[in-house]
Structure 1
Amino acid sequence: MIAFIQQEAAEKEKQIELQRKVQHSNLANASRLSILKARDDYVQALKEEARKQLVILTKYTTILANLIAQGLFLLMETDITLRCRRNDFSLVQQLIPDAIQRYKQELKQKDIKITIDDKNFIADDSFIFLVKNLIFYYFSAGGIELYAMGGKIKVSNTIEARLSMIFNQILPEIQEKLFGINQTENIVIKFFFFKIFFFP
Protein backbone atom coordinates (compact mmCIF):
# COMPACT_ATOMS: atom_id res chain seq x y z
CA MET A 1 0.00 0.00 0.00
CA ILE A 2 2.81 2.44 0.86
CA ALA A 3 4.58 1.57 -2.41
CA PHE A 4 1.37 2.31 -4.33
CA ILE A 5 0.99 5.70 -2.61
CA GLN A 6 4.65 6.53 -3.26
CA GLN A 7 4.29 5.53 -6.94
CA GLU A 8 1.16 7.67 -7.32
CA ALA A 9 2.87 10.60 -5.60
CA ALA A 10 5.86 10.23 -7.94
CA GLU A 11 3.55 10.19 -10.99
CA LYS A 12 1.70 13.27 -9.73
CA GLU A 13 5.04 14.99 -9.16
CA LYS A 14 6.10 14.14 -12.73
CA GLN A 15 2.77 15.47 -14.06
CA ILE A 16 3.14 18.69 -12.11
CA GLU A 17 6.73 19.09 -13.31
CA LEU A 18 5.66 18.44 -16.91
CA GLN A 19 2.82 20.98 -16.61
CA ARG A 20 5.25 23.49 -15.14
CA LYS A 21 7.67 22.95 -18.04
CA VAL A 22 4.88 23.28 -20.61
CA GLN A 23 3.60 26.45 -18.95
CA HIS A 24 7.13 27.87 -18.79
CA SER A 25 7.67 27.00 -22.45
CA ASN A 26 4.37 28.64 -23.44
CA LEU A 27 5.24 31.79 -21.50
CA ALA A 28 8.71 31.89 -23.04
CA ASN A 29 7.24 31.46 -26.54
CA ALA A 30 4.62 34.16 -25.92
CA SER A 31 7.34 36.49 -24.68
CA ARG A 32 9.56 35.72 -27.68
CA LEU A 33 6.66 36.26 -30.09
CA SER A 34 5.78 39.60 -28.49
CA ILE A 35 9.43 40.67 -28.84
CA LEU A 36 9.41 39.62 -32.51
CA LYS A 37 6.17 41.54 -33.03
CA ALA A 38 7.59 44.66 -31.37
CA ARG A 39 10.71 44.42 -33.52
CA ASP A 40 8.65 44.05 -36.67
CA ASP A 41 6.43 47.00 -35.69
CA TYR A 42 9.53 49.14 -35.23
CA VAL A 43 11.01 48.10 -38.58
CA GLN A 44 7.67 48.72 -40.33
CA ALA A 45 7.54 52.19 -38.76
CA LEU A 46 10.97 52.87 -40.28
CA LYS A 47 9.68 51.73 -43.67
CA GLU A 48 6.61 53.96 -43.37
CA GLU A 49 8.80 56.94 -42.49
CA ALA A 50 10.95 56.24 -45.57
CA ARG A 51 7.83 56.16 -47.72
CA LYS A 52 6.64 59.51 -46.32
CA GLN A 53 10.02 61.06 -47.09
CA LEU A 54 9.86 59.80 -50.68
CA VAL A 55 6.60 61.56 -51.46
CA ILE A 56 7.74 65.05 -50.53
CA LEU A 57 6.63 66.98 -53.60
CA THR A 58 9.95 68.65 -54.40
CA LYS A 59 11.63 65.26 -54.67
CA TYR A 60 8.67 63.49 -56.25
CA THR A 61 9.06 64.99 -59.75
CA THR A 62 12.66 63.76 -59.97
CA ILE A 63 11.74 60.37 -58.55
CA LEU A 64 8.84 59.99 -60.99
CA ALA A 65 11.03 60.96 -63.97
CA ASN A 66 13.59 58.35 -62.93
CA LEU A 67 10.91 55.68 -62.41
CA ILE A 68 9.57 56.28 -65.94
CA ALA A 69 13.04 56.11 -67.51
CA GLN A 70 13.98 53.05 -65.47
CA GLY A 71 10.75 51.32 -66.50
CA LEU A 72 11.54 51.95 -70.17
CA PHE A 73 15.00 50.40 -69.76
CA LEU A 74 13.52 47.40 -67.97
CA LEU A 75 10.87 46.77 -70.64
CA MET A 76 12.93 47.61 -73.73
CA GLU A 77 9.79 47.57 -75.88
CA THR A 78 8.67 50.02 -78.55
CA ASP A 79 4.93 50.21 -77.78
CA ILE A 80 4.18 50.86 -74.12
CA THR A 81 1.12 51.74 -72.08
CA LEU A 82 1.75 53.70 -68.90
CA ARG A 83 -0.51 53.93 -65.85
CA CYS A 84 -0.14 56.49 -63.11
CA ARG A 85 -2.21 58.05 -60.36
CA ARG A 86 -4.95 60.37 -61.57
CA ASN A 87 -3.23 63.22 -59.67
CA ASP A 88 0.02 62.59 -61.56
CA PHE A 89 -1.48 62.49 -65.07
CA SER A 90 -0.39 65.96 -66.22
CA LEU A 91 3.01 65.64 -64.53
CA VAL A 92 3.64 62.31 -66.28
CA GLN A 93 2.67 63.90 -69.61
CA GLN A 94 5.37 66.52 -69.02
CA LEU A 95 8.01 63.95 -68.01
CA ILE A 96 7.54 61.42 -70.82
CA PRO A 97 9.40 63.33 -73.59
CA ASP A 98 12.54 63.56 -71.43
CA ALA A 99 12.31 59.86 -70.50
CA ILE A 100 11.99 58.92 -74.18
CA GLN A 101 14.98 61.12 -75.03
CA ARG A 102 17.10 59.48 -72.31
CA TYR A 103 16.05 56.04 -73.56
CA LYS A 104 16.84 56.85 -77.21
CA GLN A 105 20.24 58.34 -76.37
CA GLU A 106 21.27 55.37 -74.27
CA LEU A 107 20.04 52.57 -76.54
CA LYS A 108 20.22 54.31 -79.93
CA GLN A 109 16.60 53.30 -80.39
CA LYS A 110 14.72 55.32 -82.99
CA ASP A 111 11.05 54.90 -82.23
CA ILE A 112 9.25 54.34 -78.98
CA LYS A 113 5.57 55.02 -78.38
CA ILE A 114 4.17 55.59 -74.90
CA THR A 115 0.43 55.83 -74.38
CA ILE A 116 -0.78 57.08 -71.01
CA ASP A 117 -3.82 55.09 -69.92
CA ASP A 118 -6.44 57.74 -69.19
CA LYS A 119 -9.11 55.27 -68.08
CA ASN A 120 -7.28 53.03 -65.60
CA PHE A 121 -5.25 54.70 -62.89
CA ILE A 122 -3.10 53.51 -60.04
CA ALA A 123 -5.10 53.96 -56.82
CA ASP A 124 -4.30 57.30 -55.26
CA ASP A 125 -6.57 57.16 -52.28
CA SER A 126 -5.79 56.40 -48.67
CA PHE A 127 -7.66 53.86 -46.62
CA ILE A 128 -7.51 51.90 -43.40
CA PHE A 129 -8.05 48.15 -43.34
CA LEU A 130 -8.12 45.42 -40.73
CA VAL A 131 -6.34 42.05 -40.98
CA LYS A 132 -6.50 39.61 -38.08
CA ASN A 133 -7.35 42.41 -35.60
CA LEU A 134 -4.37 44.51 -36.77
CA ILE A 135 -5.09 47.94 -38.24
CA PHE A 136 -3.12 48.96 -41.33
CA TYR A 137 -3.06 52.38 -42.94
CA TYR A 138 -2.42 52.48 -46.68
CA PHE A 139 -1.80 55.34 -49.00
CA SER A 140 -0.49 55.28 -52.53
CA ALA A 141 2.83 57.09 -52.67
CA GLY A 142 2.75 57.23 -56.48
CA GLY A 143 4.93 55.98 -59.27
CA ILE A 144 3.99 54.25 -62.49
CA GLU A 145 3.16 50.90 -64.04
CA LEU A 146 4.25 50.08 -67.59
CA TYR A 147 2.64 47.48 -69.84
CA ALA A 148 3.77 46.02 -73.16
CA MET A 149 2.54 43.38 -75.60
CA GLY A 150 -1.11 44.07 -74.82
CA GLY A 151 -0.60 43.84 -71.07
CA LYS A 152 1.32 40.53 -71.13
CA ILE A 153 4.45 42.21 -69.79
CA LYS A 154 4.21 44.48 -66.75
CA VAL A 155 6.75 46.54 -64.86
CA SER A 156 5.46 47.89 -61.57
CA ASN A 157 7.59 50.91 -60.80
CA THR A 158 5.44 52.34 -58.06
CA ILE A 159 7.15 53.84 -55.05
CA GLU A 160 5.60 51.11 -52.89
CA ALA A 161 6.97 48.35 -55.16
CA ARG A 162 10.46 49.86 -55.26
CA LEU A 163 10.50 50.56 -51.53
CA SER A 164 9.33 47.02 -50.72
CA MET A 165 11.97 45.50 -53.00
CA ILE A 166 14.78 47.57 -51.50
CA PHE A 167 13.45 47.11 -47.98
CA ASN A 168 13.31 43.31 -48.34
CA GLN A 169 16.87 43.28 -49.69
CA ILE A 170 18.26 45.22 -46.74
CA LEU A 171 15.96 43.82 -44.03
CA PRO A 172 18.64 41.46 -42.62
CA GLU A 173 21.06 44.39 -42.25
CA ILE A 174 18.38 46.54 -40.60
CA GLN A 175 17.56 43.78 -38.13
CA GLU A 176 21.25 43.16 -37.44
CA LYS A 177 21.91 46.86 -36.76
CA LEU A 178 18.81 47.39 -34.63
CA PHE A 179 18.49 44.09 -32.79
CA GLY A 180 21.64 42.02 -33.43
CA ILE A 181 19.58 39.28 -35.08
CA ASN A 182 21.45 36.49 -36.80
CA GLN A 183 20.34 34.64 -39.95
CA THR A 184 18.67 31.77 -38.06
CA GLU A 185 16.53 34.19 -36.08
CA ASN A 186 15.75 36.04 -39.32
CA ILE A 187 14.35 32.84 -40.83
CA VAL A 188 12.28 32.23 -37.67
CA ILE A 189 10.91 35.80 -37.83
CA LYS A 190 9.90 35.46 -41.48
CA PHE A 191 8.26 32.07 -40.81
CA PHE A 192 6.39 33.50 -37.81
CA PHE A 193 4.86 36.36 -39.81
CA PHE A 194 4.13 34.10 -42.80
CA LYS A 195 2.31 31.70 -40.46
CA ILE A 196 0.28 34.46 -38.75
CA PHE A 197 -1.04 35.96 -41.98
CA PHE A 198 -1.53 32.84 -44.09
CA PHE A 199 -2.37 30.10 -41.59
CA PRO A 200 -4.64 31.43 -38.82
Structure 2
Amino acid sequence: MNDADVSKQIQQMVRFIRQEAEEKANEISVSAEEEFNIEKLQLVEAEKKKIRQEYERKEKQVQIRKKIEYSMQLNASRIKVLQAQDDLVNSMKESASKELLNVSKDNKTYKNLLKDLIVQSLLRLKEPSVLLRCRKGDVKLVESVLDSAKKEYAEKAKVAAPEIIVDSVYLPPAPSRDNEHGPSCSGGVVLASRDGKIVFENTLDARLDVVFRKKLPEIRKSLFGQVAV
Protein backbone atom coordinates (compact mmCIF):
# COMPACT_ATOMS: atom_id res chain seq x y z
CA MET A 1 0.00 0.00 0.00
CA ASN A 2 1.49 3.24 -1.08
CA ASP A 3 1.33 6.54 0.67
CA ALA A 4 -1.66 7.71 -1.35
CA ASP A 5 -3.76 4.74 -0.26
CA VAL A 6 -2.74 5.15 3.37
CA SER A 7 -3.60 8.85 3.22
CA LYS A 8 -6.98 8.06 1.68
CA GLN A 9 -7.84 5.52 4.39
CA ILE A 10 -6.81 7.97 7.08
CA GLN A 11 -9.05 10.65 5.60
CA GLN A 12 -11.97 8.20 5.46
CA MET A 13 -11.39 7.30 9.10
CA VAL A 14 -11.25 10.98 10.05
CA ARG A 15 -14.52 11.66 8.21
CA PHE A 16 -16.13 8.68 9.91
CA ILE A 17 -14.93 9.77 13.35
CA ARG A 18 -16.00 13.33 12.66
CA GLN A 19 -19.43 12.16 11.49
CA GLU A 20 -19.83 10.01 14.60
CA ALA A 21 -18.71 12.94 16.76
CA GLU A 22 -21.22 15.26 15.08
CA GLU A 23 -24.01 12.70 15.45
CA LYS A 24 -23.08 12.20 19.10
CA ALA A 25 -22.92 15.94 19.61
CA ASN A 26 -26.37 16.30 18.04
CA GLU A 27 -27.72 13.55 20.29
CA ILE A 28 -26.24 15.28 23.37
CA SER A 29 -27.64 18.63 22.25
CA VAL A 30 -31.12 17.19 21.67
CA SER A 31 -31.03 15.32 25.00
CA ALA A 32 -29.79 18.39 26.83
CA GLU A 33 -32.54 20.50 25.26
CA GLU A 34 -35.19 17.93 26.25
CA GLU A 35 -33.89 17.81 29.80
CA PHE A 36 -33.81 21.61 29.89
CA ASN A 37 -37.40 21.83 28.65
CA ILE A 38 -38.53 19.20 31.17
CA GLU A 39 -36.77 20.97 34.02
CA LYS A 40 -38.09 24.33 32.86
CA LEU A 41 -41.64 22.91 32.74
CA GLN A 42 -41.21 21.45 36.23
CA LEU A 43 -39.96 24.80 37.53
CA VAL A 44 -42.85 26.63 35.86
CA GLU A 45 -45.40 24.16 37.33
CA ALA A 46 -43.80 24.43 40.76
CA GLU A 47 -43.96 28.21 40.58
CA LYS A 48 -47.59 28.05 39.40
CA LYS A 49 -48.40 25.78 42.35
CA LYS A 50 -46.76 28.19 44.77
CA ILE A 51 -48.70 31.10 43.26
CA ARG A 52 -51.97 29.13 43.50
CA GLN A 53 -51.25 28.19 47.12
CA GLU A 54 -50.41 31.79 47.99
CA TYR A 55 -53.57 33.00 46.28
CA GLU A 56 -55.69 30.41 48.14
CA ARG A 57 -54.04 31.41 51.43
CA LYS A 58 -54.76 35.08 50.84
CA GLU A 59 -58.30 34.31 49.67
CA LYS A 60 -58.92 32.38 52.92
CA GLN A 61 -57.56 35.30 54.92
CA VAL A 62 -59.91 37.66 53.08
CA GLN A 63 -62.88 35.34 53.72
CA ILE A 64 -61.97 35.07 57.42
CA ARG A 65 -61.69 38.87 57.69
CA LYS A 66 -65.06 39.25 55.98
CA LYS A 67 -66.66 36.76 58.41
CA ILE A 68 -65.11 38.55 61.40
CA GLU A 69 -66.26 41.96 60.14
CA TYR A 70 -69.76 40.61 59.45
CA SER A 71 -69.93 39.04 62.90
CA MET A 72 -68.76 42.30 64.53
CA GLN A 73 -71.32 44.33 62.57
CA LEU A 74 -74.05 41.84 63.43
CA ASN A 75 -73.16 41.94 67.13
CA ALA A 76 -73.05 45.73 67.04
CA SER A 77 -76.50 45.78 65.43
CA ARG A 78 -77.83 43.36 68.05
CA ILE A 79 -76.44 45.51 70.85
CA LYS A 80 -78.06 48.61 69.33
CA VAL A 81 -81.41 46.82 69.05
CA LEU A 82 -81.18 45.50 72.61
CA GLN A 83 -80.20 48.95 73.88
CA ALA A 84 -83.15 50.51 72.06
CA GLN A 85 -85.46 47.89 73.55
CA ASP A 86 -84.06 48.48 77.05
CA ASP A 87 -84.45 52.23 76.62
CA LEU A 88 -88.10 51.79 75.64
CA VAL A 89 -88.80 49.43 78.56
CA ASN A 90 -87.03 51.78 80.99
CA SER A 91 -89.01 54.73 79.68
CA MET A 92 -92.20 52.77 80.36
CA LYS A 93 -91.03 52.10 83.91
CA GLU A 94 -90.19 55.78 84.39
CA SER A 95 -93.69 56.72 83.18
CA ALA A 96 -95.18 54.22 85.63
CA SER A 97 -93.04 55.70 88.43
CA LYS A 98 -94.36 59.17 87.66
CA GLU A 99 -97.92 57.84 87.78
CA LEU A 100 -97.25 56.52 91.31
CA LEU A 101 -96.99 60.12 92.52
CA ASN A 102 -100.69 60.57 91.78
CA VAL A 103 -101.57 57.75 94.22
CA SER A 104 -100.58 59.72 97.30
CA LYS A 105 -102.34 62.90 96.10
CA ASP A 106 -105.76 61.45 96.88
CA ASN A 107 -105.76 61.33 100.71
CA LYS A 108 -108.73 59.00 101.07
CA THR A 109 -107.46 56.46 98.55
CA TYR A 110 -103.88 56.68 99.82
CA LYS A 111 -105.02 56.32 103.44
CA ASN A 112 -106.81 53.04 102.65
CA LEU A 113 -103.80 51.89 100.65
CA LEU A 114 -101.44 52.58 103.56
CA LYS A 115 -103.62 50.50 105.86
CA ASP A 116 -103.62 47.60 103.36
CA LEU A 117 -99.84 47.83 102.94
CA ILE A 118 -99.33 47.76 106.71
CA VAL A 119 -101.62 44.73 107.12
CA GLN A 120 -99.87 42.91 104.29
CA SER A 121 -96.47 43.68 105.83
CA LEU A 122 -97.60 42.43 109.27
CA LEU A 123 -98.84 39.20 107.71
CA ARG A 124 -95.44 38.71 106.09
CA LEU A 125 -93.44 39.47 109.23
CA LYS A 126 -95.71 37.81 111.83
CA GLU A 127 -93.86 39.58 114.63
CA PRO A 128 -95.43 40.71 117.95
CA SER A 129 -93.56 44.01 117.81
CA VAL A 130 -92.43 45.84 114.70
CA LEU A 131 -90.81 49.09 113.63
CA LEU A 132 -92.55 51.05 110.88
CA ARG A 133 -90.85 53.58 108.65
CA CYS A 134 -92.65 55.92 106.28
CA ARG A 135 -92.19 59.31 104.64
CA LYS A 136 -92.28 62.27 107.00
CA GLY A 137 -95.30 63.67 105.19
CA ASP A 138 -97.19 60.38 105.65
CA VAL A 139 -96.79 60.08 109.44
CA LYS A 140 -100.22 61.48 110.31
CA LEU A 141 -101.97 59.28 107.73
CA VAL A 142 -100.08 56.22 108.98
CA GLU A 143 -100.92 56.93 112.60
CA SER A 144 -104.59 57.38 111.69
CA VAL A 145 -104.81 53.83 110.30
CA LEU A 146 -102.58 51.97 112.79
CA ASP A 147 -105.39 50.80 115.05
CA SER A 148 -107.56 49.51 112.22
CA ALA A 149 -104.52 47.87 110.58
CA LYS A 150 -103.54 46.09 113.82
CA LYS A 151 -107.11 44.94 114.35
CA GLU A 152 -107.45 43.61 110.80
CA TYR A 153 -104.12 41.80 111.06
CA ALA A 154 -105.05 40.25 114.44
CA GLU A 155 -108.31 38.94 112.97
CA LYS A 156 -106.65 37.51 109.86
CA ALA A 157 -103.66 35.98 111.67
CA LYS A 158 -105.73 35.02 114.74
CA VAL A 159 -103.14 36.50 117.09
CA ALA A 160 -102.99 39.39 119.52
CA ALA A 161 -102.67 42.86 118.02
CA PRO A 162 -98.98 43.66 117.53
CA GLU A 163 -97.06 46.65 118.79
CA ILE A 164 -96.19 49.06 115.98
CA ILE A 165 -93.60 51.74 116.62
CA VAL A 166 -93.35 54.52 114.06
CA ASP A 167 -89.67 55.19 113.46
CA SER A 168 -88.32 58.71 113.82
CA VAL A 169 -86.09 58.04 110.80
CA TYR A 170 -88.11 58.61 107.65
CA LEU A 171 -88.15 57.30 104.11
CA PRO A 172 -86.97 59.76 101.42
CA PRO A 173 -89.52 62.31 100.18
CA ALA A 174 -91.40 62.05 96.91
CA PRO A 175 -89.41 62.77 93.72
CA SER A 176 -89.28 66.46 92.89
CA ARG A 177 -87.17 69.00 91.08
CA ASP A 178 -85.39 69.79 94.35
CA ASN A 179 -84.15 66.20 94.80
CA GLU A 180 -84.12 65.14 91.17
CA HIS A 181 -80.93 63.09 91.55
CA GLY A 182 -81.24 62.16 95.22
CA PRO A 183 -83.04 59.24 96.91
CA SER A 184 -86.82 59.40 96.69
CA CYS A 185 -89.92 57.41 97.65
CA SER A 186 -93.33 57.58 96.00
CA GLY A 187 -95.08 56.33 99.13
CA GLY A 188 -95.80 53.19 101.13
CA VAL A 189 -94.12 51.73 104.20
CA VAL A 190 -91.18 49.61 105.34
CA LEU A 191 -91.69 47.31 108.33
CA ALA A 192 -88.99 45.46 110.26
CA SER A 193 -88.69 43.22 113.29
CA ARG A 194 -87.42 45.00 116.38
CA ASP A 195 -83.98 43.38 116.04
CA GLY A 196 -83.79 44.49 112.42
CA LYS A 197 -83.12 40.97 111.12
CA ILE A 198 -86.34 40.80 109.10
CA VAL A 199 -87.25 43.70 106.84
CA PHE A 200 -90.22 43.91 104.49
CA GLU A 201 -90.11 46.79 102.04
CA ASN A 202 -93.64 47.59 100.96
CA THR A 203 -93.17 50.94 99.29
CA LEU A 204 -94.89 51.78 96.01
CA ASP A 205 -91.51 51.87 94.29
CA ALA A 206 -90.59 48.41 95.60
CA ARG A 207 -93.92 46.99 94.48
CA LEU A 208 -93.47 48.53 91.04
CA ASP A 209 -90.04 46.89 90.78
CA VAL A 210 -91.46 43.50 91.74
CA VAL A 211 -94.36 43.76 89.31
CA PHE A 212 -92.11 45.03 86.54
CA ARG A 213 -89.67 42.13 86.98
CA LYS A 214 -92.49 39.59 86.90
CA LYS A 215 -94.20 41.17 83.92
CA LEU A 216 -91.03 41.97 81.97
CA PRO A 217 -91.21 38.86 79.71
CA GLU A 218 -94.83 39.70 78.87
CA ILE A 219 -93.97 43.35 78.29
CA ARG A 220 -91.11 42.44 75.95
CA LYS A 221 -93.30 39.93 74.10
CA SER A 222 -96.05 42.49 73.72
CA LEU A 223 -93.67 45.19 72.48
CA PHE A 224 -91.18 43.21 70.41
CA GLY A 225 -92.87 39.86 69.72
CA GLN A 226 -90.94 36.59 69.46
CA VAL A 227 -88.29 37.85 67.03
CA ALA A 228 -84.86 36.63 68.17
CA VAL A 229 -82.21 39.34 68.28
Give the TM-score category using the shorter length.
0.7 to 0.9
* Greater RCO, CA 8 A, separation 6+: 1
Question: What's the offset of the Cα at 1:159?
Answer: 1.3
CA distance in structure 2 between the aligned counterparts of 1:38 and 1:101, rounded to whole angstroms: 49
Match of 2:126 in 1: 76
Match of 2:191 in 1: 146
The residue identity in structure 2 corresponding to 1:159 is: L
Q: Deviation digits for residues 141-174 of structure 1, max 9, x if unmatched?
A: 1221111141111111111211111111111111
CA contact (8 A) 1:54 1:60 kept: no
CA distance in structure 1 between the aligned counterparts of 2:65 and 2:112, rounded to whole angstroms: 62
CA contact (8 A) 2:151 2:161 kept: no
Q: Bigger shift: 15-24 or 94-103?
A: 94-103
Question: What's the offset of the Cα at 1:99?
Answer: 1.2
Question: What's the offset of the Cα at 1:181?
Answer: 3.3
Match of 1:192 in 2: none
Kindly tell me the number of residue pairs found equivalent between the two proteins. 175
Aligned pairs for 1:81-160 (under 5 A) are 81-118=131-168, 120-124=169-173, 126-128=179-181, 139-160=184-205
Higher helix share: 2
CA distance in structure 1 between the aligned counterparts of 2:166 and 2:80, rounded to whole angstroms: 46
Unaligned runs of 5+ in 2: 1-46
- Structure 2 vs 1, CA of residues 34 and 109 (structure 1 numbering), >3 Å: closer, same or farther? same
Larger Rg: 2
TM-score (norm 1): 0.79
CA contact (8 A) 1:79 1:113 kept: yes
Identity %: 36
Match of 1:134 in 2: none
CA contact (8 A) 2:136 2:170 kept: yes
Unaligned runs of 5+ in 1: 130-137, 189-200
CA distance in structure 2 between the aligned counterparts of 1:98 and 1:90, rounded to whole angstroms: 14
CA distance in structure 2 between the aligned counterparts of 1:53 and 1:114, rounded to whole angstroms: 30
CA distance in structure 1 between the aligned counterparts of 2:184 and 2:167, rounded to whole angstroms: 21
TM-score (norm 2): 0.69
CA distance in structure 2 between the aligned counterparts of 1:62 and 1:36, rounded to whole angstroms: 40
Match of 2:20 in 1: none
Higher strand share: 1
Picking from 78, 96, 105, the partner of 1:50 is: 96
The residue identity in structure 2 corresponding to 1:8 is: E
Question: What's the offset of the Cα at 1:36?
Answer: 0.9
Match of 2:80 in 1: 34
- Structure 2 vs 1, CA of residues 178 and 152 (structure 1 numbering), >3 Å: closer, same or farther? same
